[in-house]
């Protein structure tokens, strides 16, 4: 399988997970129907694409990429869309997460099979 396609599918899964999590924030404890439905649809799409990528990427690696990039992206959404703050420790931690994802992808031989 084409490496670019596999990682593109994983990125689509991550983007839909971030959209779903953003909708969860907007759903206000499931009291708003529209954002709640968007959340369910986005998570369904995200898990479909994640499960597809697991045919080609080991589950531990895929989940590390999924969760790591998801954390960074949702932190940025929280900052820019929801007005949440990120202190220096949070920014350093997010940088370390990005570094970890890069190490997995650039140096690990188990990242793709």
Residue 104's pLDDT is 86
**pTM for this one?**
0.88
In degrees and rounded to multiples of 5, residue 77 shows phi and psi of: -60, -45
Which of the four pLDDT bands, split at 50, 70 and 90, describes residue 93? very high
Angle at 54 between CA 49 and CA 57, to 5 degrees: 120
Percent of the chain surpassing pLDDT 70: 97
Report residue 32: phi and psi, to 5°: -115, 115
Q: How far apart are CA 67 and CA 75, in angstroms?
A: 12
Write out the two tokens for 59: 């589950």
Write the CA distances from 70 to 1, 46, 97, integer angstroms. Answer: 24, 11, 10
Q: In terms of pLDDT, which residue wins out, 48 or 110?
A: 48
Q: With bands split at pLDDT 50, 70 and 90, how would you rate the model's confidence at 112?
A: low
Calpha distance 36→79 (Å, rounded): 21
Q: Which two tokens stand for residue 16?
A: 């839909």
Q: Each residue of 4-49: pLDDT tens digit? A: 999 999 999 999 999 999 999 999 999 999 999 999 999 999 999 9
Domain spans, the chain: 3-107
> Is pLDDT larger for residue 65 or for residue 105?
65
| Contact status, residue 61 vs residue 110, Cβ threshold 8 Å | yes
Cα-flanking dihedrals φ and ψ of residue 56, to 5°? Answer: -125, -20
């Amino acid at each position: 399988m084409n490496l670019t396609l596999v990682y593109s599918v994983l990125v689509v899964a991550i983007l839909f997970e971030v959209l779903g999590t953003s909708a969860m924030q907007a759903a206000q404890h499931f009291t708003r129907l529209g954002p709640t439905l968007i959340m369910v649809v986005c998570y369904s799409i995200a898990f479909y694409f994640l499960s597809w990528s697991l045919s080609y990427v080991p589950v531990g690696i895929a989940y590390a990429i999924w969760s790591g990039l998801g954390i960074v992206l949702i932190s940025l959404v929280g900052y820019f869309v929801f007005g949440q703050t990120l202190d220096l420790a949070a920014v350093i931690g997010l940088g370390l997460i990005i570094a970890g994802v890069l190490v997995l992808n650039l140096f690990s031989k188990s990242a793709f099979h």
